Chain A
């Protein structure tokens, strides 16, 4: 299959369109089938992926507007491969775990469209295509929050839309400017990201462009102080919305840094290390403390997402393979774990129609299975070794230690503050006496819920014990990214800071 990436991108959308003619009753089965096929396709992508090749694979290139250099250009490397697989997996499991939903047909179709945009963002190699999918992804999410959300859903969805949209417009300006500069330097127009990589920009240009892209990505991540849309979005979104939002949509921002900022602006990236590290540390500690103060279970997870994204951001700017590989791995880990946690919170919400911690207590006695899975995800979230959460967090902190020991220690408090807010949730919701009458008749997870969580539990353990199949391709691509950055950097500071792995050097 030469066009596997196109199939991956458009299959869910086409299937979604066809979904309009499917009967309301069978739409969920239909949606699940489509999501399963899509997931299997993405697995197939993995199996036919050449692990030794660190560059772009399965490349498809069809010029659309040759005069302007816009083309339909897709490709996948070790960094994007697993994010794509995670997107298809989380869509599938999120859909599978969905309970009673009103207008389920619309929901399924929306999800399938959303899946298209997510996969599209991660495989696009043309800036215009990337931008299209990037913006299109807002629409289904706007609809999910706005139509199935809580009381403040309109406010939350509009805030989500306008906030991220504003950021991406600034990013678009940056993109246009890069294309313009490219034209000035080479005499031809091109929006292909790989073409953009080849031009060396003066440091002052890099700074401005870095800033423009930064705003677009930072709002998406979301980085402090641009994070305030997220408590509303999560607070109002239905479970499935939160799962996709936390697991996949946030990763678009961090992915953007890897795909655009680091290789295109290596000097500016190195200059940005300290400010970004400071923001990341604020994200880690500040939002962890806010998470601790929350009364609503879902908000704890929402803020914890921001805190974990801080770790990811820190790793990206470690400028060594340990840190960046760890960071990309942490994107997957956070996707799996926060997705699972949102699903769990959704399950208790379906039963009690409240997420307030004060309403719970002693749930372990009536819902042991629920408590066990929550406990496993909690441990993964706080980065226990042999769970998926440790590998990324460890590598990120290890990598950043080479940049700044002091800031690493501050960021490392993540393992403490993270434990504090998560254990508080565990204690308030699951431990203590079962006093609330309403909770006494709660039912434990049913088969549907259990089986949509079990795969995640298995991944958490598998990738915690044996991360190699995933980490190696990521690491290969990251190493070549670093080599590329090192070669391209103009300033001596940047060259000194960017640390090419010994193994890469020896290979030469």
Chain B
């Protein structure tokens, strides 16, 4: 079994190196195929490991070699495969294998095809390190690794130029990539501080040893560690106020958005909270804050999705919103439910994104849903997939999202946090609305694209076939919730609904369902009909304050630019030209000049004239005398 651990981990690495060897040569389809096969191998290993863990219940722990040993700190490259990490491994490799195959078709015209596969596999490798590591420092390797891969992949089309925000809200791929990296770095500082706190209070970074020592630590220390780690989680999982990078990250190729910015990397923060659940369980205040922030983000992101016209951005907002749900669950102590939603979400969200990729491919990179309409006739397979994924996202039974999201909402009720419960229910309705708004605008209603000169065509067959596992998973995952609960609660704390909630389960489910269905129906009436009922843009609404607020993302990017980026630029300039050159350096030069000029001036004393010298001697004598007298008086 140990070998399987290494195979699961290093197959993507081999794939990345292999593709990198051909990184600078022209497109070779077989590189994509080899990469996909290697990812498939990693997937098989992960699933086998999952089965093994399921049967035996025994985690596998391997230590490869030492990494950093200095002073008293010992950090190995150690990996642990237990119920939590094997879940993540299976999810990550499933989605990445599909995305790799998908990308063979999607990137077929891109001249940097080989490079793309190299980055994509490198990402999977980093993600595997992140989820498999047995210590916080190893987690941090993966953490930063996925950050870099995300940077490389968002900026994949590096040659595009910067556009003003009005034309492209993400400015340019390279801009968005830098934004993502820097914002994540801000959070990573929090993460590092968390690691430092843990190290200096427990003397180790190994998960098991750290968790075993937690009861000995003071609540104060625990709270600081929990807050610091959660700041790290906020960056990767794009929680408010570090969320802006995620929507801008949509500048990357769509397979990247599906894999990294929906299914896997952005869930790293949730994973961290789940992984460190013994810590967060001991800090109820921080946990409640996490739940509240998650709930807020769920609503906040959903509200922006209501008015967005960019297909990928709508899905990005929904990712943000669903991450909020996961944090809500994790914060309320239902760790396994958060993990379950994470897995279910990965499947249907990746499917949704890949479907969006098909649309984009067909529409020659046009993403404005207002320019689409009635695509279902031309892209039947994609239409079915995306509808399925949206149904799952909207939380309709018996699809995956229904089970997982419902459980989260129920948890909020069970914890007597009725306000959170209420927001989450309303958000569920909004989710259904914006998901179907997007489906109806894209695939139903009037044909708006032909007039604009688009002639969309369906994606390659093999791509559609490759997407099918995700479609199946988006449907059936929820059916195995009970089994999964048994499996995962061997490691994670079980979460029991109270008797009271139990009685109300059916009603609670119905309320959520009612909200979801009304969302869909509303979207249908507004956007799906044809003829005289067809959807038209309403200038009155679009001039409204709320619409503008949502459309401009609550002006958060503008505020960041105005109050952070711009001042940073200005202050940096001032520090350079005014402080460093005009004060610090000028002082140094001033001292040098003073010495030089005083030497130059006093040089005139050297006249060679004896009587001049005598005069100076007299002056010197007088000065010495004065000094002597004064010092004698003081003494």
Closest to A286 in B: B575
- Nearest to A383 among chain B residues (CB) is B144
Are A471 and B68 interface neighbours, CB within 8 A? Answer: yes
Residue of B nearest to A384 (CB): B144
Contacts of A501 in B (CB 8 A): 71-72
The answer to whether B71 touches A412, judged by C-beta atoms less than 8 angstroms apart, is no
In the bound assembly, the distance between CA atoms of A416 and B592 in angstroms comes to 36
Report A217-236 residues with CB < 8 Å from chain B CB: 224-225, 227-229
Shortest distance in angstroms between A164's beta carbon and chain B's nearest beta carbon?
A: 12
Cβ contact of A430, chosen from B70, B72, B158, cutoff 8 A: B158
B181 at the interface (CB under 8 A from A): yes
Q: Which residues of A contact B140 (CB under 8 A)?
A: 385
The residues of B that contact A224 with a CB separation of less than 8 Å are: 584
Contact yes or no, A432 B568, CB < 8 A: no
Give the CA-CA distance A365 to B157 in the complex, in Å: 11
B466 within 8 A of A: no
Q: Is the CB of A399 within 8 A of B193?
A: no
Chain A neighbourhood of B189, CB < 8 A: 409, 412-413, 415-416
- Give the distance to chain B from A445, nearest Cβ to Cβ, in Å: 12
A481 to chain B, nearest CB (A): 12
A259 within 8 A of B: no
A379 and B148 contacting across the interface, CB-CB below 8 Å: yes
Q: What are the interface flags for B157-169 relative to A under an 8 Å C-beta threshold, 1 for contact and 0 otherwise? A: 0111110000000
- B155, CB-defined interface residue at 8 Å: yes
Q: Are A475 and B148 in contact (CB under 8 A)?
A: no
In angstroms, Cα B587 to Cα A467, docked, is: 42
B580 to A385, Cβ gap below 8 A? no
Asked if A293 CB lies within 8 Å of chain B CBs, one says yes
Whether A412 and B182, one on each chain, are in contact in the complex, defined by CB atoms closer than 8 angstroms, is no
In B130-174, the 8 Å CB interface with A consists of 137, 140-141, 144-145, 148, 155, 158-162, 172-174
Residues of A within 8 A of B70 (CB): 321-322, 325-326, 329, 395, 471, 474-475, 478
CB <8 Å contact, B199 and A398: yes
> Is B539 engaged at the interface, CB distance under 8 Å to the other chain?
no
Partner of B182, one of A379, A409, A419, A472: A419
Q: Chain A nearest CB: distance from B223 CB in Å? A: 14
Check if A385 sits within 8 Å of B144, measured CB to CB. yes
Which residues of the other chain, B, contact A325 by a CB distance below 8 angstroms?
70-71
Inter-chain contact B572/A364, CB cutoff 8 Å: no
Do residues A427 and B72 form an inter-chain contact, with CB atoms below 8 A? no
Q: A408-B196, A409-B189, A416-B185 are in contact. Are A320 and B148 (CB under 8 A)?
A: no
A382 to B189, CA, bound (A): 13
Interface assignment of A98: CB less than 8 Å from any CB of chain B: no
A205 to B175, CA, bound (A): 55
* Cα-based distance from A405 to B174 in the complex (angstroms): 34
Q: How far is the CB of B77 from chain A (nearest CB, A)?
A: 9
Q: Tell me the count of chain A residues lying within 8 A, CB to CB, of chain B.
A: 72
Please give, as numbers and ranges, the residues of chain B lying within 8 Å of A290 by CB-CB distance: 572, 575-576, 580
Q: Chain A residues near B538 (CB, 8 Å)?
A: none
Asked if residues A415 and B185 are in contact (CB atoms below 8 Å), the reply is yes
Instruction: Contacts A290-B572, A293-B576 given; indicate if A320 touches B144 (C-beta within 8 A).
Output: no
How many contacts A-B (CB < 8 Å)?
164
Q: A397 near B: Cβ within 8 Å?
A: yes
Interface bin, chain B: 35 or more
Closest to A328 in B: B70
Contact partner of A228 (CB less than 8 A), chosen from B24, B573, B584, is: B584
- Cα-based distance from A419 to B180 in the complex (angstroms): 11
From B158, B161, B568, contact of A289 by CB (8 A): B568
Q: Which of A289, A364, A433, A503 has the most CB of B within 10 A?
A: A289
B247 proximal to A (CB < 8 A): no
* Residues in B neighbouring A401, C-beta threshold 8 A: 193, 196-197, 199-200
Tell me the smallest distance from the CB of B225 to a CB of chain A, in Å: 12
Docked-complex contact A391 and B68, CB < 8 angstroms? yes
Q: Which residues on A sit within 8 Å (CB–CB) of B148? A: 379, 384
Q: How far is the CB of B416 from chain A (nearest CB, A)?
A: 36
Q: Which residue of A lies closest to B587 (CB)?
A: A225
Give A296 to B512 CA distance when docked, in angstroms: 59
Contact residues of A between 417 and 449, Cβ < 8 Å to B: 419-420, 423-424, 426-427, 430-434
Q: Which of A346-368 contact B (CB under 8 A)?
A: 362, 364-365, 368
**B212 contacts A by Cβ under 8 Å:** no
- Of B73, B182, B188, B580, the contact of A398 (CB 8 Å cutoff): B73
Q: Which chain B positions have C-beta within 8 A of A322?
A: 70-73
Nearest CB on B from A214, distance (A): 17
Q: Select from chain B the residue with minimum beta-carbon distance to A288.
A: B572
Shortest Cβ gap from A381 to chain B (Å)? 13
Is B1 part of the binding interface, using a Cβ–Cβ cutoff of 8 Å?
A: no
Report the nearest B residue to A158, measured CB to CB: B592
Which of A419, A434, A471, A502 is within 8 Å of B69, CB to CB?
A: A471
> Is B93 close to A, CB under 8 A?
no
Task: Report the minimum CB–CB distance from B538 to chain A (whole Å).
Answer: 38
Q: Which residues of B contact A326 (CB under 8 A)?
A: 70
Distance in angstroms from B454 CB to nearest chain A CB is 26
- Give complex CA distance A128, B73 in Å: 38
Report the bound CA distance from A229 to B585 in whole Å: 8
Q: Which of A323, A394, A430 contacts B68 (CB 8 A)?
A: A394
Residues of chain B within 8 A (CB-CB) of A416 are 182, 185-186, 189
Chain B: minimal CB distance from A289 (Å): 4
A472 cross-chain contacts in B, Cβ below 8 A: 69
> Does A196 count as interface, using CB distance less than 8 angstroms?
no
Question: How far is it, in angstroms, between the C-alpha of A372 and the C-alpha of B23 when the chains are bound?
Answer: 10
**Chain B: which residue is nearest A369 at the CB level?**
B24
How distant is B181 from chain A, measured CB to nearest CB, in Å? Answer: 6
Contact bitstring B199-222, A, C-beta under 8 A = 1, else 0: 110010000000000000000000
Contact of A162 among B159, B161, B592 (CB under 8 A): B592
With a CB–CB cut-off of 8 A, which chain A residues contact B585? 228
Instruction: Give a binary string over B551-579; 1 marks a CB under 8 Å from any A CB, 0 the rest.
Output: 00000000000000000110111011100
Distance between A303 CB and nearest chain B CB, rounded to angstroms: 9
- Which residues of A lie under 8 Å from residue B196 when comparing CB positions? 397-398, 401, 405, 408
Q: A379-B148, A409-B193, A479-B71 are in contact. Are A292 and B572 (CB under 8 A)?
A: yes
Q: With a 10 A CB-CB cut-off, give which of B572, B573, B575 has the most chain A CB atoms.
A: B572
Contact B192 A412 (CB under 8 A): yes
Answer whether A427 and B174 are a contact pair too, CB < 8 Å, given A290-B575, A364-B158, A472-B69. yes
Bitwise, A39-70 to B at CB < 8 A (1) or not (0) is 00000000000000000000000000000000
Give, as a whole number of angstroms, the nearest-CB distance from B537 to chain A: 33
What residue of chain B has the Cβ atom nearest to residue A228's Cβ?
B585
Q: Does B610 contact A (CB under 8 A)?
A: no
Is the CB–CB distance between A432 and B159 below 8 Å?
Answer: yes
Q: In whole angstroms, what is the CA distance A427 to B172 when docked?
A: 11
**CB-CB < 8 A to B197: which residues of A?**
401, 405
- Could you say which residues of chain A place their CB within 8 Å of the CB of B634? none
Say yes or no: is B65 at the interface (Cβ < 8 Å to chain A).
yes
A402 within 8 A of B: yes
Q: Which residues of A contact B178 (CB under 8 A)?
A: 423-424, 426-427
CA A432 to CA B157, docked complex, whole Å: 9
Give the 9 A-B CB pairs with smallest separation, nearest first.
Answer: A321-B71, A431-B174, A322-B71, A228-B585, A401-B196, A293-B572, A385-B141, A289-B572, A325-B70
A-B contact pairs, 27 of them (CB 8 A): A228-B580, A289-B568, A290-B580, A292-B569, A293-B577, A321-B72, A322-B71, A329-B70, A368-B24, A385-B141, A385-B144, A391-B68, A395-B68, A397-B192, A398-B196, A401-B199, A405-B196, A412-B192, A415-B192, A419-B181, A423-B178, A432-B159, A432-B160, A468-B66, A468-B69, A472-B69, A501-B71
Tell me the B residues contacting A by CB distance below 8 Å.
23-24, 65-73, 137, 140-141, 144-145, 148, 155, 158-162, 172-175, 178, 181-182, 185-186, 188-189, 192-193, 195-197, 199-200, 203, 568-569, 571-573, 575-577, 580, 584-585, 587-588, 592
- Known contacts A398-B73, A501-B72; 10 additional CB pairs below 8 A are A225-B584, A293-B575, A322-B73, A365-B159, A385-B137, A385-B141, A408-B193, A419-B185, A468-B66, A474-B70
